[in-house]
Structure 1
Amino acid sequence: MNIFATSMLLVVSVCASIATAAPATPLQDEQLSVVAAKLIPAYASEQSAKSLAILYNLQLAAGRLADAEATLDRLEAVYRSSEPRLVPNVVPWRIYARSKAYEAAGKTAPDALAHAFSELYSSLPSSQAAAVLPWYSADIDSLRADEAAQAKICAGMPLARCASAANLIRAHEENIALTYLMQASAPLLKADMERRYLIDDQVLIPTPDGAKIAALVVRPRSAGKTKLTALLNFTIYAKDTWSMSDAVTMAAHGYAGVVAYTRGKGRSPDAVVPYVHDGEDAATVIGWLSHQPWSDGRVGMFSGSYNGFTQWAATKHHPSALKAIATNATNAPGIDTPMQGNVFQSFIYPWPFYTTDIKALDDKTYDDRARWIGLEKKWYVSGRAYRDLDKIDGKLNPVFDTWLEHPAYDAYWQRLIPYGREFASIDIPVFVETGYYDGGMVGALYYFQQHLKYRPAANDRMIVGPYHHVAMQTGVLAKVDGYQVDKAALIDLQELRLAWFDHVFHGAPLPALLSDQINFEVMGADSWRHVPTLADMATSHARFYLTGHHDAKPLLLGNAPDTQSAPELVVDFTYRGDVDFQPPPGMADTRNALVFETEPLKEPLEVDGLFQGRFVVTANKRDFDLSVNFFELTPDGRYLDLASYLGRVSYMQDRTHRQLLQPGQPRVLEFQSQTLTSRLLTQGSRIVAVIGVPKVPDIQINYGTGGDVSSESIADAGAPLRIRWSADSYVELGIRGAPDFAQRH
Structure 2
Amino acid sequence: MSTPAKSPTPKNIIVEEHIWITLKDGCRLAARLWLPEDALDNPVPAILEYIPYRKRDGTRGRDEPMHGYYAQNGYAAVRVDMRGSGESDGHMADEYLPLEQDDALEVIAWIAQQPWCDGAVGMQGKSWSGFNALQVAARRPPALKAIITTFSTDNRFTDDIHYMGGCLLNDNLWWGSIMLAFQARPLDPAIVGDSWRAAWLERIEKMPFFPALWLAHQRYDAYWQHGSVSTDYDAIVCPVLTIGGWADSYTNSVPRLLAGLNVPCRGIIGPWGHIYPHDGVPGPAIGYLQEAVRWWDHWLKGRDTGVMDDPQLRAYVEDPVAPEGTRTEMPGRWVGLAQWPSPELTPLVLHTGADGSLGENAGDKNAGKQGLLTIRSPESHGRAGGEWMGAGCPGEHPTDQRLDDGGALVFETAPLETEISTLGAPRLSLEIAADAPVAHVVARLSDVAPDGRVTRVSYQVFNLTHRDSHTNPAPLEPGQFYLVDFDLNACGHRFLPGHRIRLAVASTYWPMIWPTPTHVELSLRAEACSLTLPRLPDHPTTVTMLPPAHGPMTPMTRIEEGTIRRYSQQDHVTGEHTYVTDAVGGVFGEGVIRFDEIGTEIAHSLRRELTIRDDDPLSARYVLDQTFAMGRDGWRTRSEIRTAMHSDATHFHLSGDLAVFEDDECVAKREWRESIPRDLM
Deviation at 1:622, TM superposition (A): 1.8
Write out aligned runs for 1:251-266 (5 A).
Answer: 251-266=71-86
Question: What is residue 204 of structure 2 aligned with on the other side?
Answer: none
Question: What is residue 176 of structure 2 aligned with on the other side?
Answer: 352
Alignment of 1:247 onto 2:49: no
Q: 2:501 aligns with which of 683, 687, 691?
A: 687
Aligned amino acid, residue 511 of structure 2? P
Q: Is the 8 A contact 2:353 2:526 kept in 1?
A: no
Question: What is residue 411 of structure 1 aligned with on the other side?
Answer: 222
Q: 1:735 aligns with which of 531, 535, 549?
A: 535
1:428 aligned counterpart, secondary structure: coil
Q: 1:423 aligns with which of 229, 233, 253?
A: 233
Q: Is the 8 A contact 1:548 1:562 kept in 2?
A: no
Deviation at 1:360, TM superposition (A): 7.7
Alignment of 1:334 onto 2:157: yes
Deviation at 1:361, TM superposition (A): 5.8
Structure 1 residues 356 and 617 mapped into 2: Cα distance closer, same or farther (>3 Å)? Answer: same
Q: Distance in 2 between matches of 1:539 and 1:442?
A: 17
Q: Is the 8 A contact 2:433 2:478 kept in 1?
A: yes
2:272 aligned counterpart, secondary structure: strand
Greater share of strand residues, 1 or 2?
A: 2
Structure 1 residues 251 and 360 mapped into 2: Cα distance closer, same or farther (>3 Å)? Answer: farther
Write out aligned runs for 1:324-723 (5 A).
Answer: 324-331=146-153, 332-335=155-158, 336-358=160-182, 398-420=209-231, 422-446=232-256, 448=257, 452-453=259-260, 455=261, 457-472=262-277, 475-477=279-281, 480=282, 490-511=285-306, 515-524=310-319, 526-536=332-342, 538-549=344-355, 554-557=356-359, 559-563=361-365, 564=367, 565-571=370-376, 585-587=399-401, 589-590=404-405, 592-673=407-488, 675-703=489-517, 717=518, 720-723=520-523
Aligned amino acid, residue 670 of structure 1? D
Q: Distance in 2 between matches of 1:319 and 1:733?
A: 40
Q: Distance in 2 between matches of 1:490 and 1:534?
A: 23
Q: Distance in 2 between matches of 1:636 and 1:316?
A: 50
Percent identity of the aligned residues?
22
Structure 1 residues 669 and 356 mapped into 2: Cα distance closer, same or farther (>3 Å)? Answer: same
Aligned amino acid, residue 587 of structure 1? Q
Structure 1 residues 442 and 536 mapped into 2: Cα distance closer, same or farther (>3 Å)? Answer: closer
The Cα offsets for residues 612-662 of structure 1, whole Å up to 9 and x where unpaired, read as: 222121222223222222122122333334333222222233222213322
Q: Is the 8 A contact 1:279 1:316 kept in 2?
A: no
Structure 1 residues 642 and 358 mapped into 2: Cα distance closer, same or farther (>3 Å)? Answer: closer
Write out aligned runs for 1:193-208 (5 A).
Answer: 196-208=12-24
Question: Would you say how many aligned residue pairs link Structure 1 and Structure 2?
Answer: 478
Write out aligned runs for 1:129-168 (5 A).
Answer: none
Aligned amino acid, residue 349 of structure 1? L
Aligned amino acid, residue 252 of structure 2? V
2:103 aligned counterpart, secondary structure: helix
Q: Structure 2 regions of 5+ residues with no counterpart?
A: 1-7, 187-206, 320-330, 387-396, 539-681
Aligned amino acid, residue 688 of structure 1? R
1:323 aligned counterpart, secondary structure: strand
Q: Distance in 1 between matches of 2:233 and 2:458?
A: 26
Q: Distance in 2 between matches of 1:399 and 1:356?
A: 7
The Cα offsets for residues 337-382 of structure 1, whole Å up to 9 and x where unpaired, read as: 21112222122423334334455869xxxxxxxxxxxxxxxxxxxx
1:467 aligned counterpart, secondary structure: coil
Aligned amino acid, residue 362 of structure 2? A
Q: Indicate the RMSD between aligned Cα atoms, in angstroms.
A: 3.1
Deviation at 1:429, TM superposition (A): 0.5
Aligned amino acid, residue 343 of structure 1? C
Aligned amino acid, residue 222 of structure 1? D
Q: Is the 8 A contact 2:354 2:526 kept in 1?
A: no
Q: Distance in 2 between matches of 1:580 and 1:648?
A: 20
1:469 aligned counterpart, secondary structure: coil
Deviation at 1:445, TM superposition (A): 4.3
Q: Distance in 1 between matches of 2:226 and 2:291?
A: 32
Q: Is the 8 A contact 1:545 1:729 kept in 2?
A: yes
- Structure with more contact order per residue of length (Cα contacts < 8 Å, sep ≥ 6): 2
Deviation at 1:302, TM superposition (A): 1.2
Greater share of helix residues, 1 or 2?
A: 1
Alignment of 1:275 onto 2:80: no
Deviation at 1:203, TM superposition (A): 2.6
Structure 1 residues 239 and 324 mapped into 2: Cα distance closer, same or farther (>3 Å)? Answer: same
Structure 1 residues 356 and 232 mapped into 2: Cα distance closer, same or farther (>3 Å)? Answer: farther
Q: Distance in 1 between matches of 2:208 and 2:364?
A: 50
Q: Distance in 2 between matches of 1:439 and 1:359?
A: 23
Q: State the TM-score, normalizing by the size of structure 1.
A: 0.59
Q: Distance in 2 between matches of 1:584 and 1:327?
A: 26
Deviation at 1:299, TM superposition (A): 1.0
Q: Structure 1 regions of 5+ residues with no counterpart?
A: 1-123, 128-195, 363-395, 704-716, 739-745
Q: Distance in 1 between matches of 2:515 and 2:301?
A: 51
The Cα offsets for residues 49-94 of structure 1, whole Å up to 9 and x where unpaired, read as: xxxxxxxxxxxxxxxxxxxxxxxxxxxxxxxxxxxxxxxxxxxxxx
Structure 1 residues 569 and 629 mapped into 2: Cα distance closer, same or farther (>3 Å)? Answer: same
1:288 aligned counterpart, secondary structure: helix
Q: Distance in 2 between matches of 1:653 and 1:532?
A: 33
Aligned amino acid, residue 212 of structure 1? R
Deviation at 1:411, TM superposition (A): 0.7
Q: Is the 8 A contact 1:617 1:723 kept in 2?
A: yes
Q: Is the 8 A contact 1:341 1:652 kept in 2?
A: no
Structure 1 residues 212 and 353 mapped into 2: Cα distance closer, same or farther (>3 Å)? Answer: farther
Aligned amino acid, residue 400 of structure 1? P
Deviation at 1:125, TM superposition (A): 6.8
Question: What is residue 215 of structure 1 aligned with on the other side?
Answer: 31
Structure 1 residues 619 and 534 mapped into 2: Cα distance closer, same or farther (>3 Å)? Answer: farther
Aligned amino acid, residue 232 of structure 1? L
Q: Is the 8 A contact 1:601 1:682 kept in 2?
A: yes
2:108 aligned counterpart, secondary structure: helix
